[in-house]
Structure 1
Amino acid sequence: MFRILTVCTGNICRSPMAEYMIRTALGDAGILDVLVESAGTSDGEAGHGIDPRAAAILQSHGINAEEHVARVLDADMVTGADLLLAMDQEHLAALAKMLPADPSAPRPDLRMMRSFDTTLASAPVEGQGIYDPWFGDSADFRLCWQMVNAAIPGVLDYVRAHTMPQRGN
Protein backbone atom coordinates (compact mmCIF):
# COMPACT_ATOMS: atom_id res chain seq x y z
CA MET A 1 0.00 0.00 0.00
CA PHE A 2 1.28 3.46 -0.96
CA ARG A 3 1.34 5.89 1.99
CA ILE A 4 1.08 9.68 1.97
CA LEU A 5 1.68 11.80 5.07
CA THR A 6 0.72 15.49 5.15
CA VAL A 7 2.39 17.60 7.84
CA CYS A 8 1.74 21.01 9.40
CA THR A 9 2.26 22.46 12.88
CA GLY A 10 -0.69 21.46 15.04
CA ASN A 11 -2.46 18.97 12.74
CA ILE A 12 -5.78 20.76 13.09
CA CYS A 13 -5.89 22.98 9.96
CA ARG A 14 -3.65 22.59 6.91
CA SER A 15 -2.48 18.98 7.09
CA PRO A 16 -5.90 17.47 7.89
CA MET A 17 -7.46 19.59 5.16
CA ALA A 18 -4.88 18.22 2.72
CA GLU A 19 -5.34 14.68 4.08
CA TYR A 20 -9.10 14.66 3.58
CA MET A 21 -8.96 16.50 0.26
CA ILE A 22 -6.37 14.09 -1.16
CA ARG A 23 -8.23 11.07 0.20
CA THR A 24 -11.46 12.28 -1.43
CA ALA A 25 -9.73 13.04 -4.75
CA LEU A 26 -8.09 9.60 -4.80
CA GLY A 27 -11.45 7.95 -4.17
CA ASP A 28 -13.14 10.05 -6.85
CA ALA A 29 -10.38 9.03 -9.29
CA GLY A 30 -10.77 5.35 -8.41
CA ILE A 31 -7.21 5.13 -7.10
CA LEU A 32 -7.17 2.45 -4.43
CA ASP A 33 -4.55 1.10 -2.05
CA VAL A 34 -3.35 4.51 -0.94
CA LEU A 35 -3.35 5.46 2.73
CA VAL A 36 -3.42 9.20 3.44
CA GLU A 37 -2.66 10.41 6.96
CA SER A 38 -1.59 13.64 8.63
CA ALA A 39 0.41 14.75 11.65
CA GLY A 40 1.78 17.89 13.29
CA THR A 41 5.26 18.92 14.31
CA SER A 42 3.97 20.33 17.61
CA ASP A 43 2.20 18.54 20.44
CA GLY A 44 0.12 21.60 21.34
CA GLU A 45 -3.06 20.32 19.67
CA ALA A 46 -2.56 16.55 20.05
CA GLY A 47 -5.85 14.81 20.75
CA HIS A 48 -7.99 17.70 19.51
CA GLY A 49 -10.35 17.60 16.57
CA ILE A 50 -9.99 19.54 13.37
CA ASP A 51 -10.38 23.32 13.66
CA PRO A 52 -14.09 24.14 13.15
CA ARG A 53 -13.23 26.60 10.38
CA ALA A 54 -11.26 23.91 8.50
CA ALA A 55 -14.11 21.46 9.04
CA ALA A 56 -16.58 24.01 7.69
CA ILE A 57 -14.66 24.63 4.46
CA LEU A 58 -14.27 20.90 3.91
CA GLN A 59 -17.98 20.34 4.65
CA SER A 60 -18.90 23.07 2.15
CA HIS A 61 -17.23 20.83 -0.46
CA GLY A 62 -18.95 17.67 0.78
CA ILE A 63 -16.04 16.34 2.83
CA ASN A 64 -16.65 15.22 6.41
CA ALA A 65 -13.59 15.40 8.68
CA GLU A 66 -15.36 14.97 12.03
CA GLU A 67 -13.37 11.83 12.84
CA HIS A 68 -10.01 13.63 12.67
CA VAL A 69 -7.90 13.63 15.84
CA ALA A 70 -4.66 15.62 15.84
CA ARG A 71 -1.47 13.67 16.41
CA VAL A 72 2.22 14.41 16.71
CA LEU A 73 4.68 13.48 14.00
CA ASP A 74 7.15 10.72 14.85
CA ALA A 75 9.99 8.93 13.07
CA ASP A 76 7.92 5.80 12.38
CA MET A 77 5.36 7.86 10.46
CA VAL A 78 8.14 9.38 8.37
CA THR A 79 9.95 6.15 7.56
CA GLY A 80 6.67 4.35 6.85
CA ALA A 81 5.57 6.88 4.24
CA ASP A 82 6.21 6.89 0.52
CA LEU A 83 5.41 10.58 0.04
CA LEU A 84 5.79 13.30 2.67
CA LEU A 85 3.95 16.56 2.00
CA ALA A 86 5.07 19.59 4.01
CA MET A 87 2.81 22.62 4.24
CA ASP A 88 5.65 25.12 4.75
CA GLN A 89 9.44 25.34 5.04
CA GLU A 90 9.43 24.75 8.81
CA HIS A 91 7.66 21.43 8.29
CA LEU A 92 9.97 20.54 5.39
CA ALA A 93 13.00 21.07 7.65
CA ALA A 94 11.47 19.04 10.50
CA LEU A 95 10.72 16.16 8.16
CA ALA A 96 14.19 16.30 6.58
CA LYS A 97 15.75 15.84 10.04
CA MET A 98 13.68 12.67 10.53
CA LEU A 99 14.68 10.98 7.27
CA PRO A 100 16.87 7.88 7.62
CA ALA A 101 20.55 8.79 7.89
CA ASP A 102 21.63 5.62 6.08
CA PRO A 103 21.71 6.48 2.36
CA SER A 104 20.97 2.84 1.46
CA ALA A 105 17.78 2.80 3.56
CA PRO A 106 14.48 3.36 1.77
CA ARG A 107 13.60 7.05 1.89
CA PRO A 108 10.23 8.63 1.33
CA ASP A 109 9.98 11.42 -1.22
CA LEU A 110 9.88 14.72 0.70
CA ARG A 111 8.08 17.56 -1.06
CA MET A 112 6.25 20.78 -0.40
CA MET A 113 2.52 20.30 -0.97
CA ARG A 114 2.43 23.18 -3.43
CA SER A 115 5.33 21.79 -5.45
CA PHE A 116 2.59 19.75 -7.13
CA ASP A 117 0.80 22.92 -8.26
CA THR A 118 1.92 23.23 -11.88
CA THR A 119 1.94 27.02 -11.63
CA LEU A 120 4.52 26.81 -8.80
CA ALA A 121 6.52 23.71 -9.71
CA SER A 122 9.58 25.73 -10.71
CA ALA A 123 9.18 28.30 -7.93
CA PRO A 124 11.73 28.25 -5.10
CA VAL A 125 10.69 26.38 -1.96
CA GLU A 126 10.26 29.73 -0.22
CA GLY A 127 7.35 30.49 -2.55
CA GLN A 128 5.56 27.18 -2.09
CA GLY A 129 4.38 27.48 1.51
CA ILE A 130 0.81 27.45 2.73
CA TYR A 131 0.63 29.88 5.62
CA ASP A 132 -1.27 28.89 8.75
CA PRO A 133 -4.92 29.95 8.46
CA TRP A 134 -5.42 29.40 12.20
CA PHE A 135 -4.45 33.04 12.81
CA GLY A 136 -6.98 34.34 10.31
CA ASP A 137 -10.64 34.04 9.45
CA SER A 138 -12.78 32.02 7.05
CA ALA A 139 -11.17 33.78 4.06
CA ASP A 140 -7.80 32.37 5.12
CA PHE A 141 -9.28 28.87 5.25
CA ARG A 142 -10.77 29.34 1.77
CA LEU A 143 -7.34 30.39 0.50
CA CYS A 144 -5.79 27.33 2.15
CA TRP A 145 -8.41 25.17 0.38
CA GLN A 146 -7.55 26.80 -2.95
CA MET A 147 -3.80 26.28 -2.48
CA VAL A 148 -4.19 22.61 -1.55
CA ASN A 149 -6.78 22.04 -4.26
CA ALA A 150 -4.48 23.46 -6.95
CA ALA A 151 -1.83 20.88 -6.00
CA ILE A 152 -4.10 17.83 -5.92
CA PRO A 153 -4.04 17.01 -9.66
CA GLY A 154 -0.25 16.85 -9.45
CA VAL A 155 -0.41 14.63 -6.36
CA LEU A 156 -2.80 12.28 -8.19
CA ASP A 157 -0.44 12.15 -11.19
CA TYR A 158 2.46 11.36 -8.85
CA VAL A 159 0.52 8.57 -7.15
CA ARG A 160 -0.52 7.10 -10.50
CA ALA A 161 3.10 7.15 -11.70
CA HIS A 162 4.30 5.43 -8.53
CA THR A 163 1.54 2.88 -8.03
CA MET A 164 0.09 1.93 -11.41
CA PRO A 165 1.78 -0.82 -13.42
CA GLN A 166 3.61 0.64 -16.38
CA ARG A 167 2.61 -0.78 -19.75
CA GLY A 168 5.31 -1.74 -22.19
CA ASN A 169 5.10 -1.19 -25.94
Structure 2
Amino acid sequence: MTSSSIPGGISDEEAGNPVDPRAVHVLTGAGYDAADHSARQVTGEWLAERDLAIAMTQRHREALERLVSRLPEERRPEIRMFRSYDPAADGLTGTDLDVADPWYGDQDGFFTTLDQVEAAVPGIVDEMRSRLRG
Protein backbone atom coordinates (compact mmCIF):
# COMPACT_ATOMS: atom_id res chain seq x y z
CA MET A 1 0.00 0.00 0.00
CA THR A 2 1.39 3.41 -0.89
CA SER A 3 1.10 6.41 1.39
CA SER A 4 -1.33 8.00 -1.03
CA SER A 5 -3.73 5.09 -0.54
CA ILE A 6 -3.96 5.62 3.21
CA PRO A 7 -6.91 7.81 4.17
CA GLY A 8 -6.08 10.60 6.52
CA GLY A 9 -9.29 11.93 7.97
CA ILE A 10 -12.91 11.53 8.86
CA SER A 11 -14.33 14.69 7.29
CA ASP A 12 -13.94 15.68 3.67
CA GLU A 13 -12.73 19.23 4.36
CA GLU A 14 -9.04 18.41 3.82
CA ALA A 15 -9.52 15.68 1.20
CA GLY A 16 -7.11 16.21 -1.68
CA ASN A 17 -4.96 18.72 0.17
CA PRO A 18 -1.22 18.14 0.50
CA VAL A 19 0.54 17.69 3.83
CA ASP A 20 0.82 20.89 5.90
CA PRO A 21 4.11 22.61 4.97
CA ARG A 22 5.10 22.73 8.65
CA ALA A 23 4.70 18.95 8.86
CA VAL A 24 6.66 18.49 5.63
CA HIS A 25 9.50 20.53 7.15
CA VAL A 26 9.60 18.35 10.29
CA LEU A 27 9.19 15.09 8.36
CA THR A 28 11.87 15.98 5.81
CA GLY A 29 14.25 16.93 8.61
CA ALA A 30 13.64 13.54 10.21
CA GLY A 31 14.31 11.71 6.93
CA TYR A 32 10.73 11.04 5.79
CA ASP A 33 9.29 11.83 2.36
CA ALA A 34 5.79 13.30 2.43
CA ALA A 35 5.95 14.95 -0.99
CA ASP A 36 3.40 12.71 -2.73
CA HIS A 37 0.94 12.36 0.14
CA SER A 38 -2.44 14.04 0.12
CA ALA A 39 -5.38 13.76 2.50
CA ARG A 40 -8.14 11.29 1.75
CA GLN A 41 -11.38 10.75 3.58
CA VAL A 42 -11.97 7.50 5.43
CA THR A 43 -15.16 5.82 4.25
CA GLY A 44 -17.17 2.85 5.39
CA GLU A 45 -16.29 1.05 2.16
CA TRP A 46 -12.57 1.53 2.84
CA LEU A 47 -12.97 0.30 6.42
CA ALA A 48 -14.91 -2.77 5.28
CA GLU A 49 -11.79 -3.97 3.45
CA ARG A 50 -9.58 -3.75 6.58
CA ASP A 51 -9.31 -5.77 9.75
CA LEU A 52 -7.78 -2.94 11.79
CA ALA A 53 -8.32 0.83 11.85
CA ILE A 54 -6.04 3.00 13.98
CA ALA A 55 -7.42 6.29 15.29
CA MET A 56 -5.20 9.24 16.14
CA THR A 57 -7.66 10.86 18.58
CA GLN A 58 -10.67 9.82 20.62
CA ARG A 59 -12.84 12.01 18.37
CA HIS A 60 -11.55 10.11 15.33
CA ARG A 61 -12.17 6.81 17.12
CA GLU A 62 -15.78 7.76 17.77
CA ALA A 63 -16.26 8.76 14.12
CA LEU A 64 -14.69 5.48 12.96
CA GLU A 65 -16.97 3.56 15.30
CA ARG A 66 -20.00 5.31 13.77
CA LEU A 67 -18.83 4.36 10.27
CA VAL A 68 -18.10 0.78 11.32
CA SER A 69 -21.49 0.41 13.03
CA ARG A 70 -23.13 0.70 9.60
CA LEU A 71 -21.18 -2.28 8.27
CA PRO A 72 -22.22 -5.92 8.51
CA GLU A 73 -20.71 -7.47 11.65
CA GLU A 74 -18.33 -9.71 9.67
CA ARG A 75 -16.84 -6.71 7.84
CA ARG A 76 -16.17 -4.51 10.87
CA PRO A 77 -12.51 -3.88 11.59
CA GLU A 78 -11.09 -3.65 15.08
CA ILE A 79 -10.49 -0.02 16.08
CA ARG A 80 -7.50 0.91 18.24
CA MET A 81 -5.92 4.13 19.36
CA PHE A 82 -2.56 4.89 17.73
CA ARG A 83 -0.79 5.65 21.00
CA SER A 84 -2.08 2.41 22.56
CA TYR A 85 0.92 0.86 20.77
CA ASP A 86 3.37 3.14 22.63
CA PRO A 87 4.72 1.40 25.77
CA ALA A 88 5.14 4.82 27.43
CA ALA A 89 1.39 5.42 27.05
CA ASP A 90 0.46 2.22 28.90
CA GLY A 91 -2.41 2.89 31.27
CA LEU A 92 -3.66 5.98 29.44
CA THR A 93 -7.29 6.02 28.33
CA GLY A 94 -9.69 8.25 26.41
CA THR A 95 -8.34 11.56 25.20
CA ASP A 96 -5.08 10.99 27.11
CA LEU A 97 -4.24 8.61 24.24
CA ASP A 98 -4.76 11.31 21.60
CA VAL A 99 -1.84 12.04 19.31
CA ALA A 100 -1.15 15.76 19.66
CA ASP A 101 -2.80 17.83 16.92
CA PRO A 102 -0.32 20.56 16.00
CA TRP A 103 -2.54 22.31 13.46
CA TYR A 104 -3.36 25.41 15.53
CA GLY A 105 -0.02 25.68 17.30
CA ASP A 106 3.50 26.54 16.31
CA GLN A 107 6.21 24.46 14.64
CA ASP A 108 7.15 22.77 17.94
CA GLY A 109 3.82 20.95 17.98
CA PHE A 110 4.82 19.05 14.85
CA PHE A 111 7.92 17.75 16.62
CA THR A 112 5.75 16.55 19.52
CA THR A 113 3.44 14.76 17.11
CA LEU A 114 6.38 13.15 15.31
CA ASP A 115 7.79 11.95 18.65
CA GLN A 116 4.44 10.38 19.57
CA VAL A 117 4.09 8.70 16.18
CA GLU A 118 7.62 7.33 16.19
CA ALA A 119 7.14 5.98 19.73
CA ALA A 120 4.08 3.96 18.68
CA VAL A 121 5.19 2.68 15.27
CA PRO A 122 7.39 -0.19 16.56
CA GLY A 123 4.36 -1.56 18.43
CA ILE A 124 2.21 -1.28 15.32
CA VAL A 125 4.83 -3.08 13.25
CA ASP A 126 5.04 -5.84 15.87
CA GLU A 127 1.23 -6.16 15.84
CA MET A 128 1.13 -6.41 12.04
CA ARG A 129 3.88 -9.02 12.00
CA SER A 130 2.02 -11.04 14.62
CA ARG A 131 -1.24 -10.84 12.65
CA LEU A 132 0.52 -11.94 9.45
CA ARG A 133 2.07 -14.93 11.23
CA GLY A 134 -1.18 -15.87 12.96
TM more than 0.5: yes
Q: Tell me whether 1:64 sits opposite 2:33 in the alignment.
A: yes
**Cα root mean square deviation, aligned:** 2.1
CA offsets, 1:62-86, max 9 Å, x none? 1111111211221111111222111
- What is the number of equivalent residue pairs in this alignment? 133
More strand per residue = 1
Identity of aligned residues (%): 33
Q: Which residue of 1 aligns with 2:112?
A: 143
Q: Secondary structure of 1:39's partner?
A: coil
Cα distance in 1, alignment partners of residues 109 and 82 from structure 2: 17
Cα distance in 2, alignment partners of residues 44 and 126 from structure 1: 23
Q: Which residue of 2 aligns with 1:163?
A: 132
**Equivalent position amino acid for 2:110 in 1:** F
Question: Which runs of 5 or more residues in structure 1 are unaligned?
Answer: 4-18, 21-34
Q: Secondary structure of 2:103's partner?
A: helix
**Equivalent position amino acid for 1:92 in 2:** R
Q: Which residue of 2 aligns with 1:76?
A: 45
Q: In 1, are the aligned partners of 2:100 and 2:112 still within 8 Å (CA)?
A: no
Question: Which runs of 5 or more residues in structure 2 are unaligned?
Answer: none
Report how far residue 118 of structure 1 moved. Answer: 0.9
| Structure 1 segment 67-146 matched on structure 2, within 5 A | 67-100=36-69, 101-103=71-73, 105-146=74-115
Q: Which residue of 2 aligns with 1:43?
A: 12
Report how far residue 128 of structure 1 moved. Answer: 0.2
CA distance 1:68–1:36, change in 2 (3 Å):
closer
Normalised to the residue count of structure 1, the TM-score between the two structures is 0.71
Q: Secondary structure of 1:147's partner?
A: helix
Mean alpha-carbon deviation: is it higher for 80-89 or for 36-45?
36-45
